[in-house]
Homo-oligomer: A and B are copies of this chain.
Amino acid sequence: MNTFGQLYRLTSFGESHGPAIGGIIDGMPAGIPIDLHKLQIELDRRRPGQSELVTARQETDKVEILSGFFDGKTLGTPIAFIVRNEDHNSTDYSEIEKVYRPSHADYTYSAKYGLRDYRGGGRSSARETISRVVAGAFAKQALEGFGIDIKAFTSQVGEIALTGTYRDYDLSLIDSNPVRCPDPAVANQMKDLILNIKSAGDTVGGIITCVITGCPVGLGDPVFGKLSSSLASAMMSINAAKGFDYGLGFSEIHKKGSEVIDNFFSSDDGCISVKTNHSGGIQGGISNGADIYFRVAFKPVATLLQPVETVDVEGKPTTLRAKGRHDPCVLPRAVPVVEAMAAMVIFDSLLLMRTNRL
């Protein structure tokens, strides 16, 4: 199953070392103006080689739109897109034909399918997230017309964490540094940590926080289609994601109910709002009009530039010495992916909501 979404659907394809990566967006309404330049900017935020913090692979990742788009607007028909794979350096990967990299998908794929494209990570490669960023960029631009904005940022790398909540920072600064952290001072510390870890041939994880503003009341469904469930599913489908929470999340369990309920009040314009937002903008699975915010935990990348013990495809012990160019920390490049997945979920929910009442 390589399709995500119910009405706004991305079906993605592509192995890292095949001819191309891409996807088909189905369910995009007709007549939405799309700025392809802005779309490419999102891809560039995900691109390798953009800073010293990420893999040095050089890929321009230029997207070609093959259908569903005409005269600057969506046609209401499927939008297919491809990004050609350019930087095939198969010597980097030749060893993994015969060896299972620890904590990678090599072994599980081989066992599941009985064969795999051993020239690279195949579908488990981070290149797969290109298709998510494209589909998310279309959704983001559609959401702008509704005043809905989505911003993700790196809030923790290893032990270095932002101390405030998202309200304490100027989120326009997120892209001012290669870590994508809205506090420049903390961003610097994170950067130093990543470079140190990198020089030791090791890797580090962290947390991305995402904030969605401007949502109407009513997104999400009461039971299995809770907005929180859809967001969790979306985020946990990203490579290296290990955890998700929203609102107070895991830190709420230490509190009493009386400390965390969000009392309602009526604002001057007659709108019902919450005084606090421990619920993270979602109550009973449905958006309540307050900011939606959530966190995604990412593990340290499993590809180390130091010898690791493992087995070959015949089960014999061996030592793997990874070569090539790898990310010491996925977070900077995962920020646009988190935003893209969030945009797809919110836009899908918005379309579904149009059918809740006639």
Query: How many copies of the shown chain assemble into the complex?
Result: 4
Cβ of A299 to closest chain B Cβ, rounded Å: 5
Chain B proximity mask over A136-165: 1 for CB below 8 Å, otherwise 0: 000000100100000000001011000000
Instruction: Contact check, A206 vs B77: say whether CB atoms are below 8 A apart.
Output: no
Q: Is the CB of A105 within 8 A of B283?
A: yes
Q: Does A293 contact B (CB under 8 A)?
A: no
**Which residues of chain A (41-95) have a CB below 8 Å from chain B?**
64-68, 70-71, 73, 75-80, 82
Partner of A299, one of B253, B297, B358: B253
Instruction: Report the interface size for chain A: residues with CB under 8 A from the other chain.
Output: 152
Asked whether any CB of chain B lies closer than 8 Å to the CB of A172, the reply is: no
Residue A336, interface by CB 8 Å: no
List residues of chain B with CB within 8 A of the CB of A244: 232, 236, 243-245
Chain B residue nearest to A79 in the complex (CB): B13
Chain B hits for A263, CB < 8 A: 102, 308-310
Bound together, the chains give a CA A257 to CA B351 distance in angstroms of 40
A180 → B minimal CB distance (Å): 16
Q: Closest chain B residue to A287 by CB distance?
A: B108
Q: Which B-chain residue is minimally distant from A78 (CB atoms)?
A: B13
Q: Which of B15, B237, B317 contacts A266 (CB 8 A)?
A: B317
**Considering the chains assembled together, what is the distance between the CA atoms of A249 and B258 in angstroms?**
28
Centre residue among A205, A222, A270, A315 by max chain B CB count within 10 A: A222
Q: Given contacts A100-B272, A283-B107, are A242 and B249 in contact (CB under 8 A)? A: yes
Query: How far does the Cβ of A23 sit from chain B's closest Cβ, in whole Å?
Result: 8
Cα of A124 to Cα of B249 in the assembled complex, Å: 19
Contact with B along A267-306 (1 / 0, CB 8 A): 0001110100011100111111000000001111111101
Chain B residues, Cβ within 8 Å of A206: 253
1/0 contact string of A214-228 vs chain B (CB within 8 Å)? 000110011111101
Instruction: Please encode chain A, from 307 to 344, with 1 for each CB lying within 8 Å of some chain B CB and 0 for all others.
Output: 01111000111000000000000000000000000000
Kindly list 20 other residue pairs between chains A and B, CB separation below 8 angstroms, not including A19-B65, A248-B299, A252-B297.
A1-B225, A2-B221, A12-B224, A15-B68, A18-B68, A24-B24, A31-B115, A75-B122, A77-B222, A100-B272, A103-B260, A109-B222, A113-B357, A122-B222, A206-B253, A232-B236, A249-B297, A257-B299, A260-B300, A265-B311
